[in-house]
Structure 1
Amino acid sequence: MQAIQAKDYKVVFGAHGYENLNILLKEKDYSILFILVDSNTHEYCLASFLQNLETTQTIEIIEIDPGEEFKNLETCEGVWNVLSELNADRKSALVNLGGGVVTDLGGFVACCFKRGIDFINIPTTLLAMVDASVGGKTGVDLGPLKNQIGVISNPEMVLVDTNYLGTLPIEELRSGYAEMLKHGLIHSESYWNAVKEAKYTELESLGELIRQSIAIKNEVVLEDPFEQNIRKTLNYGHTLGHAIESYFMERKDKTRLLHGEAISVGMVLANFLSTALRSLDKETCNETSKAILSFYPYVNFEEKDIEAIITLLKYDKKNSHGIIYFVLLDAIGKPVLNQEVSNELIFNAFDYYKNLSKK
């Protein structure tokens, strides 16, 4: 599969990708190669990765706990302490082998340690492959608030090996698929139709769609690397989606939602708002929303839940001067930025989600 050229690095694929990685390691001649894993990727992915590695450099493994609840500064401090104890210097490098938590957190750790060491992302989940590991966003959560602390800094390379997807539970595959559905909605009807009709469980046929998804994101990031304008379109469904995810993460009486499960709700809500405030026609709104709902389980929201979720919107990163901005659609492939939405319309959007889910 052909590599994708990002701004300062390449996204490489499969066996040829490992050849590129080994060439990079030989050229860079790092003092120590640190591999960051969580307990899941340590068990299911590390051995396979090491078998493909050809290097005489010293290798050290650093393991963190899995899960979004550990994507915080406390975990970063633990990794920084291990790096110091193992004599990491500015010529060391950090390989992030894992899902979005590992690549986000590992990139942030590398950017801050000794004012910056090289890092390489090896995403092992679908979500990380098509979203988290690409585009240079690194960072951690602040309590339940998603990605509040971080910097934009590019890796030396991203290597996508779809064989790792075979280690995932079906729920994690489904979670990552939400980002591919989002790419379809903001990019083109052709890609939307391809993703809508595909089966995320058929890994052999998923590779080319993953590459297209990465290419879509890369195209946007190249035009707007620091999210001043068009890159915000990648947040379609995420304004309410992230607030929903944060709310369900902090409430002990709620079953926690995976990222894609929350974003799927956020996209259905954004579809409704796009019809109410922009020119997305009702037929397209209903068709795309039903397609999204066919992949994900229904989530129940009570009035108090919606009120709390609306309160969390003030922490969204697209906000400016106290105004909450949404990304909406005029049509599939035609996103629009900086849309203000009333609380009344948000409640109406949740009603639409509830009613559509029951049909």
Structure 2
Amino acid sequence: MQAIHAKNYDIVFTETGYEKLNSILKQKDYSILFVLVDSNTHENCLSQFLQNVITTLTIEIIEIEPGEEFKNLETCEGVWSALSELNADRQSLLINLGGGVVTDLGGFVACCFKRGIDFINIPTTLLAMVDASVGGKTGVDLGPLKNQIGVISNPQLVLVDPVFLETLPEEELRSGYAEMLKHGLIHSKSYWDDVTSSSYSAFKDLGDLIHKSILIKNEVVLEDPFEKGIRKSLNYGHTLGHAIESYFMESPSKTRLLHGEAIAIGMILANFISTQLTGLNAQEALDSAKAITKIYPFVQFDDSDIEAIITLLKYDKKNSHGSIYFVLLEDIGKVKLNQTVSNDLIFNAFDFYKNLWNK
């Protein structure tokens, strides 16, 4: 797969990607190489990665706990302390080897440590490959509130090696697939058809789809790196999806949802809302929603759940001047930004979601 040129860095793949990585390690005057992993990538991915690294630098491994609940400032403090104890300086390099939590948090750690050190992202999950590791967004959660603390700062390199996907459980692959479905909805009917006619577990087909998804995201980011306009389209399904994810994370009576599971629901809700506000064809919304329900399990919501989710919407990062803004569709591949939605319409969207499973 050909390298993708982003803003001041490249997104590279497999063998040629490792060649690019080793070239950077050789050319730049780094003092120490740090690799940030969680316990899962430490066990399943680290040795595979190190086999492909050629360097005389000292390599230090820093491990964090896996899971969204550890994507917080407390974990950052632990990593910063480890870097200091291991004599990191401003010429150190941090390689983030992991999923979205590792790349988001690791990038933020690197941006803040000694006012900024270089970092490289090596995503090991489908979600991180097509979304989290690309585009320069770094950050952590504030309690259950998603990505409230962070900065936009580009890595030196993103290296995508689909071999790491073979270490993932099915539900993690399915979670990442939601972002590819989103790319289809906001980009084009042809890519939507490509994604929905494939499977998140078909490794031989995923490489080309991953490359296309990254191209789609990168094109948007290049046009609008700081999310002043069209980059907001990448949040399709995320306004309600993030609120759902946060609610299920903080509610002791609920089973936590993976990011993609919540975003899948958010996209179905946004589809319905789009039929009511921005002219998305009702049959198109229904067909795409049914395609999503074939992949993701049903989640039960009662009125009190929905009210709590609506309350959480005020923390969405797209909000401005007290208004809650949604990304909606006029058609597949044609987005409409900065749309306000009534609470009654949100309740109706949840009814639409529930009725999909009753037909």
- TM (norm. structure 1) is 1.00
Preserved contact between residue 104 and residue 139 of structure 1 (Cα < 8 Å): yes
After the TM superposition, which parts of structure 1 deviate over 3 Å for at least 4 consecutive aligned residues?
none
Equivalent position of 1:250 in the other structure: 250
Shift of 1:204: 1.4
Shift of 1:357: 2.1
- Note if 1:214 corresponds to 2:214: yes
Equivalent position of 1:53 in the other structure: 53
How many percent identity over aligned positions? 76
Shift of 1:29: 2.8
Equivalent position of 1:180 in the other structure: 180
- Note if 1:352 corresponds to 2:352: yes
Query: For residues 352 and 199 of structure 2, what CA distance do their matches in structure 1 show?
Result: 26
- Note if 1:330 corresponds to 2:330: yes
- Provide structure 2 residue ranges, at least 5 long, that are not aligned to the other structure: none
Shift of 1:358: 2.1
Q: Secondary structure at the match of 1:17?
A: helix
Q: Secondary structure at the match of 1:36?
A: strand
Query: For residues 198 and 238 of structure 2, what CA distance do their matches in structure 1 show?
Result: 23
- Note if 1:147 corresponds to 2:160: no
Shift of 1:205: 1.2
Equivalent position of 2:32 in the other structure: 32
- Note if 1:103 corresponds to 2:97: no
Equivalent position of 1:292 in the other structure: 292
Equivalent position of 1:160 in the other structure: 160
Equivalent position of 1:303 in the other structure: 303
In the TM superposition, what whole-angstrom CA distance separates every residue of 1:289-309 from its partner, at most 9, and x where no partner exists?
000111000000010000000
In the TM superposition, what whole-angstrom CA distance separates every residue of 1:206-264 from its partner, at most 9, and x where no partner exists?
10000000000000000000000000000000000000000000001100000000000
- TM (norm. structure 2) is 1.00
Query: For residues 10 and 20 of structure 2, what CA distance do their matches in structure 1 show?
Result: 9
CA-based RMSD of the aligned residues comes to 0.4
Shift of 1:73: 0.1
Equivalent position of 2:283 in the other structure: 283
- Note if 1:83 corresponds to 2:70: no
- Provide structure 1 residue ranges, at least 5 long, that are not aligned to the other structure: none
Q: Which amino acid aligns with 1:153?
A: S
Preserved contact between residue 71 and residue 101 of structure 1 (Cα < 8 Å): yes
Shift of 1:96: 0.1
Q: Which amino acid aligns with 2:266?
A: G
Q: Secondary structure at the match of 2:83?
A: helix
Equivalent position of 1:112 in the other structure: 112
Query: For residues 278 and 39 of structure 1, what CA distance do their matches in structure 2 show?
Result: 45
Preserved contact between residue 135 and residue 218 of structure 1 (Cα < 8 Å): yes
> Aligned residue pairs: how many?
359
Query: For residues 53 and 281 of structure 1, what CA distance do their matches in structure 2 show?
Result: 50
Query: For residues 201 and 133 of structure 1, what CA distance do their matches in structure 2 show?
Result: 21
